[in-house]
Structure 1
Amino acid sequence: MKFLAAYLLLVAGGKTEPSAEDITKLLGSVGVEGDAARLNSLLKALEGKSVDEVIAEGATKLASVSSGPAVAAAGGAAAAAGGEAPAEEAKEEEKEESDEDMGFGLFD
């Protein structure tokens, strides 16, 4: 992840195709050492692709990943099956969560 972050920083800074040396130099400037094999693997995977293409490809892959909580999905499925208990449980959970504050914050 650190190699990818460094790569993207260099691209944002105007370097269209950062080299392994560029990335190593950037990471070294903040005291981070890296694995050359991983860096070379990343550069090989990014070879011939623009950052925009890589981000677009990643976005399509993320679109297929479920990001909703499993509890809500289970409750929705039960409600669709005709049960009303999950809706009542959700109301109870909301009430319980609002009672947890007790008038003071974490950093007070």
Structure 2
Amino acid sequence: MKFISAYLMAYLAGNSSPTAEDLTTILESVGCEIDNAKMELLLSQVSGKDITELIACGREKFASVPSGGGGVAVAAAAPAAGGAGGAPAAEAKKEDKVEEKEESDDDMGFSLFD
């Protein structure tokens, strides 16, 4: 990830084809250890390719990756689907309020300053 970040930083700075030396300079400036094999692998895979096409391709692949926490996303997506989606959102808000009350009871009658 650090090599990709360094590559993108160099690209945003105006270098349309960053080299290993460019990435090394960026990474050493913040004290990162450098694995030359991984850096060369990245550079070989992106050489001659347009950065905007690489990002677009990555977005397509990333969209298919499942991410956790479906409860809030489902409740938020239901009203957008239309119709009677307002009820699940209201139920989710009620559940959040109940959880907050339970958390406030965790002090067991003691206060930090008692």
Same fold (TM over 0.5): yes
Aligned to 1:42: 42
RMSD: 3.1
In the TM superposition, residue 69 of structure 1 has moved relative to its aligned partner by 2.6
| Cα shift readout 1:4-44 (whole Å, capped 9, x = no counterpart) | 10000000000000000110011112222210000001101
Structure 2 unaligned regions, length at least 5: 74-87, 105-114
Q: TM-score, normalised by structure 1?
A: 0.68
Q: What is the identity, as a one-letter code, of the residue corresponding to 2:99?
A: E
| Number of residue-to-residue matches in the alignment | 93
In the TM superposition, residue 91 of structure 1 has moved relative to its aligned partner by 6.2
Aligned to 2:97: 95
In the TM superposition, residue 48 of structure 1 has moved relative to its aligned partner by 1.5
Aligned to 2:31: 31
In the TM superposition, residue 68 of structure 1 has moved relative to its aligned partner by 5.3
Aligned to 1:22: 22
Q: What is the identity, as a one-letter code, of the residue corresponding to 1:14?
A: G
* Partner SS state of residue 18, structure 2: coil
* Partner SS state of residue 66, structure 2: coil
Aligned to 2:9: 9
| Cα shift readout 1:48-100 (whole Å, capped 9, x = no counterpart) | 11110111001111222233535579xxxxxxxxxxxx99x856632322325
Pair 1:91–1:9, CA change in 2 (3 A): closer
Q: What is the identity, as a one-letter code, of the residue corresponding to 1:8?
A: L
Aligned to 1:78: none
